[in-house]
Amino acid sequence: MFDTGVRAHFTASRLAAPLLFASDAGLVVTVSSGDGDKFRGNVPYDTSKAATERMTRGMARELRDRGVAAVAIQPGFTRTERVLDAFDGEEPPEETSSPRYVGRAVVALATDPDVLDCSGEVCPVGELAFAYGFTDVDGSQPQFALGEEWAL
């Protein structure tokens, strides 16, 4: 959880920072989970996701003066290969989304000229879809994560 999560986000962001400083604007996106302040099921996972969100807020403060935004996104229940394998051929719940839904959230943030306004925020992908008007590949706009509706 820490090497492939927090450490990977930190290392990639640190190495990307000089490239982002050289551009007119930049964006660092980290990936968290959609449980907010709720316990996420086990200590390592919960701690790594909370640390990622905290790191994003800190990066936002340190990078803002250089024109670089840092935003954490919470994808929710995503139909990754691992999730599909867990359903063993059965359809996953309706509130799941494709990985492309998450990618579309990143594109929406990256193309927003005012992205610095949300720097330091932790944004559920469903809320970003609502705000920016994008949909998943099937035209849906899932607002759920792990079976619970997001407050819009």
- Domain-wise residue ranges, the chain: 2-149
Catalytic residue, candidates 16, 17, 45, 110? 45
pTM for the model stands at: 0.85
SS3 92: coil
- Would residue 45 show up in a list of annotated catalytic residues for this protein? yes
Q: Tens of pLDDT along 4-61?
A: 678 998 999 999 999 999 887 799 999 987 666 777 778 888 888 888 999 999 999 9
Please compute the mean of the pLDDT values over residues 90-118 and round it to a whole number.
92
Please compute, for residue 144, the number of CA atoms within 13 A of its CA located in the half-sphere on the CB side: 13
CATH class of 2-149: alpha beta
**Would you call 37 exposed, middle or buried from its count of C-beta atoms within 10 A (0-12, 13-18, 19+)?**
exposed
User: What value does the CA radius of gyration of the chain take, rounded to a whole number of Å?
Assistant: 16
Q: Tens of pLDDT along 95-107?
A: 789 999 999 999 9
